[in-house]
Amino acid sequence: GRDHDLAGLRIMVTAGGTREPIDPVRYLGNRSSGRQGVAIAAAAADRGAKVVLFAANVDAAVLAEVQDRAAVRVVPVSTTAELERASRAAAAGAEVVIMAAAVADYRVAEVAERKIRKEDGAGRAPVLELVENPDILAGLVEERRPGQVIVGFAAETVENEAELRERGLRKLARKGADLLAVNAVSWSEGFESGENTLHVLARDGRPETVATGTKRAVADALLDAIRDTLDS
Ligand code: PMT
């Protein structure tokens, strides 16, 4: 049963999408609504865990799902650098780390201090130079405390399920997480919607599990896999 099966655990969850500023009024971002990560935080709290939720640009309407849960502390963040700083500190005090946020791989090399104005471009479109962001998940894996379970996500645009699994397995090996929750994303799947299909891959060779349903339902299936990993 799931009733209070996560009692006593401290779980860190990231949700939403980081934004990288271009100038004071513009940013580079992605379509993550935060719904999947927020559903994980809600499910974990309902099962007895204490949760810190780093919410990257998540709308209040989405956060409403956890607002009345005393066991969830919501910390808003925006950029990848902010998320990295906050999650490093919090991961040190968590038995489980779940990285559901869509993190920008690149940021703008030089953020303009004032709004970039069309009139200043002399008829030429601006060119943005990007630099790589740190991989937060890889950093947390490096600093992993004994017994800590680290769960990565993988959002993949694929042709079919075989390709999804293959890309997932490669990412699992590369990232060093204990579990990898793989979902297909496209113009109409994964992001924003109320439903999802999650393939949960384990590094310890435990068989893959697949869950389809509401983001809350797949969140509970993911937490089952985490509980089984902690128990083993
Ligand atoms: O928010 P919703 O609208 O509900 O949509 C949910 C979702 C599709 C965003 C979510 O289920 C999901 O797949 N989240 C991860 C998206 C992602 O960034 O995947 P990725 O394959 O690019 O990254 C792999 C993993 O590395 C992720 O755990 C990510 O948090 C982490 N990462 C990535 C880049 C980076 N610089 N640092 C990281 O830690």
Q: For ligand 1, say whether the CB of 100 is within 6 Å of any of its atoms.
A: yes
Q: Compute the distance from residue 61 Cα to the ligand 1 centre, in Å.
A: 21
Query: Would you list which residues are annotated within the binding site for CTP?
Result: 105, 115, 134-137, 153, 171, 175
Q: For ligand 1, say whether the CB of 12 is within 6 Å of any of its atoms.
A: no
Q: Compute the distance from residue 120 Cα to the ligand 1 centre, in Å.
A: 36
User: What is the pLDDT, as a whole number, of residue 70?
Assistant: 96
- Rounded distance between C-alpha atoms, residue 135 and residue 105, angstroms: 8
Q: Compute the distance from residue 103 Cα to the ligand 1 centre, in Å.
A: 6
Mutate to test the pocket of ligand 1, among 137, 157, 167, 179 (most ligand atoms within 8 A of CB): 137
- ipTM for this model: 0.99
Per-residue pLDDT of the chain (232 residues; tens, 9 = 90+): 688 999 999 999 999 999 999 999 999 999 999 999 999 999 999 999 999 999 999 999 999 999 999 999 999 999 999 999 999 999 999 999 999 999 999 999 999 999 999 988 889 999 999 999 999 999 999 999 999 999 999 999 999 999 999 999 999 999 999 999 999 999 999 998 999 999 999 999 899 999 999 999 999 999 999 999 998 8
| pTM metric for this prediction | 0.97
- Rounded distance between C-alpha atoms, residue 53 and residue 66, angstroms: 9
CATH number of 10-231, picked from 3.20.20.80, 3.10.20.600, 3.40.50.10300, 3.40.50.80: 3.40.50.10300
Catalytic: 30? yes
- Rounded distance between C-alpha atoms, residue 96 and residue 150, angstroms: 6
Q: What is the DSSP string of the chain?
A: --TTTTTT-EEEEEEEB--EEEETTEEE-----SHHHHHHHHHHHHTT-EEEEEEES--HHHHHHHHT-TTEEEEEE-SHHHHHHHHHHHHTT-SEEEE-SB--SEEESS--SS---GGGGTT------EEEPP-HHHHHHHTPPTT-EEEEEEEE--SSHHHHHHHHHHHHHHH--SEEEEEE--SSSSSSSSEEEEEEEETT-PPPEEEEEEHHHHHHHHHHHHHHHHH-
Residue nearest to atom 24 of ligand 1 (CA): 154
Mutate to test the pocket of ligand 1, among 14, 19, 20, 32 (most ligand atoms within 8 A of CB): 32
Q: Compute the distance from residue 122 Cα to the ligand 1 centre, in Å.
A: 38
